[in-house]
Structure 1
Amino acid sequence: MPISTLDALDYEIVRELQEDGRRAFREVARNLSVPEATVRTRVKRLQDQGILQILAFTNPSKLGQAKLALFFIEVTPQDHDRLVDTLGRWPEVSYLSTTLGSADVCAQVLCRDDETLWDLQQKVRSLPGVRDVRMMQEVKVHKIRFTIPPVQTDE
Structure 2
Amino acid sequence: MSISTLDPLDFGIVRELQEDGRRAYREVARNLSVPEATIRVRVKRLQDQGILQILAFTDPSKLGHAKLALLFVNVEPQDHERAVDTLGRWPQVSYLSTTMGTADICVQVLCSDDDSLWALQQRVRSLPGVRDVRTMQEVKVHKIRFTLPEAERDS
CA distance in 2, matches of 1:152, 1:20: 17
Q: Does 1:16 align with 2:5?
A: no
Q: Displacement of 1:124 after TM fit?
A: 0.3
For residues 1-150 of structure 1, the aligned pairs below 5 Å read 1-150=1-150
CA distance in 2, matches of 1:64, 1:152: 38
| Matching residue's letter, 1:118 | W
Structure 1's 110 and 152: CA in aligned 2 closer, same or farther, altered over 3 A?
closer
Whole-Å separation in 2 of the counterparts to 1:91 and 1:71: 15
Q: Aligned equivalents of 2:5 and 2:118: distance in 1?
A: 43
Distance 2:100 2:120 in 1: 23
- Structure 1 residue runs of 5 or longer lacking an equivalent are none
Separation in 1 of the partners of 2:96 and 2:153?
Answer: 28
Deviations 1:34-64 (A, max 9, x none): 1000000000000000000011010000000
- Superposed displacement of residue 153, structure 1: 6.1
Letter in 2 for 1:80: H
Q: Supply the distance in 1 between the matched residues of 2:66 and 2:154 (Cα, whole angstroms).
A: 44
Q: Tell me how far apart the structure 1 counterparts of residues 153 and 35 of structure 2 sit (CA, whole Å).
A: 25
- Work out the CA distance in 2 between the residues paired with 1:140 and 1:107: 17
TM-superposed deviation, 1:149: 2.0
TM-score norm. by structure 1 comes to 0.97
User: Secondary structure of 1:58's match?
Assistant: coil
Q: Work out whether residues 96 and 108 of structure 2, in 8 Å CA contact, stay in contact via their aligned partners in 1.
A: yes
C-alpha distance in structure 2 between counterparts of 1:33 and 1:2, whole Å: 25
Following TM superposition, by how much is the alpha carbon of 1:152 offset from its aligned partner in structure 2, in angstroms? 6.8
CA offset at residue 139 of structure 1?
0.3
Count of aligned residue pairs for this structure pair: 154
Q: The residue matched to 1:109 in structure 2 has which SS?
A: strand
Looking at structure 2, the residues matched to 47 and 28 of structure 1 have their Cα atoms a distance apart, in angstroms, of 16
Deviation at 1:148, TM superposition (A): 1.6
Runs ≥4 in structure 1, deviation > 6 angstroms?
A: none
The sequence identity of aligned pairs, in percent, is 79
